[in-house]
Structure 1
Amino acid sequence: MRKIDEQKKLKIKAAVMTLVDQDGLTNLTTAKVAKTAGVSPATLYIYYQDKTDMLSRIYESVKDELHLGLLAELSATAPDLAAQLRAMLQFSVTQYRQQPRAAHFVQALWTNPEALDEQALQHGTELDSALGQLFTKLVADQAYVNLSRPAFELIFATPTQLLLRQPTVSNEEVEQLIDVVIKAVQQ
């Protein structure tokens, strides 16, 4: 068995994110990834089974990086659910502002779930994740509307969607939108 070269794996990840950002998901090929990463096409198959596996594992990694620190942020916030939701939305906005390429990559795959395997689709929605815990509280609280998880995910993605469309939007406008999102899910 060949040894895993973490530097090559990082180059592949960077190449995938760059190509998705520049050319879109539909134009992504393993040949382009290999060329951009400066590795042979066969090297990709040391790390990934196929294109779907590659996109899925990188998506999981990037999503984890974007959510890194969220649980600590929620723990430091007042226990009331509205404050927790506000903290989660503000955290997401901050992460998206600091890591726009990562945000664009996650967005591209979020809107094209057919490019991901089932494991990647479920990643981050487990009940032990920060978002999973927050969703469990939301569903149990009678002060909030009874929506499905996908419906809540769409509503809560609104501030970051605005940032993806208009990266220079003011903090004041983002905060207003966060207020609207929280009010929209309250009974």
Structure 2
Amino acid sequence: MAAEDLEWERSKISGQDMNLLKKMGFTKKENALRFPKEESYPSPPIEYRLHHQLTPNSILHVSIFITLCECFLGVQPNWALWKRIFCLRRNGSHGVAYNIGGVVICVRSDVEYFDVQFPDSVQGWRKRWLYVHEESSGSVEYNIAPFDGRAKIHRRRSWDAEATEEEKSRQRRDDSHP
């Protein structure tokens, strides 16, 4: 099966969506975002990456976590705390992993956390893909991987990994020296 035969729909980004992104300040830099034309399969230009790797609710989890750390706990968001609260799970239906939003961020079952009321449905979000210009960080470690529609999402044991004692210790040191 060719990569182009995988389940994709033409992006439904509208002029209204583009205006909202501009109003929100996401398009201040020239050519920061590119919108697909009549494409039914993503083919991002060089130096652009496909946007929507996470589900909308996963993005909300990230935002809440950053706000919790910075505004309420008074610490920098950190990996040790993140791994204590969250894990990942594969997103799909009927044995099929999604090409977009194939991984979902979840609160661990043994953790007490905010009772966040997520929308029951965010219909159509997978149809609103676009391209984001990648500004190189100078380190491959932090760059977004190029799009590969053939890539399969395979569950990994590391998705459930909690913070190691070393990570917890390092975080305690960092938190005590603001």
Same fold (TM over 0.5): no
The TM-score with structure 2 as length reference comes to: 0.33
The TM-score with structure 1 as length reference comes to: 0.32
The structure whose residues are more often helix, as a share, is 1
The structure whose residues are more often strand, as a share, is 2
RCO higher in 1 or 2 (8 Å CA, sep ≥ 6)?
A: 2
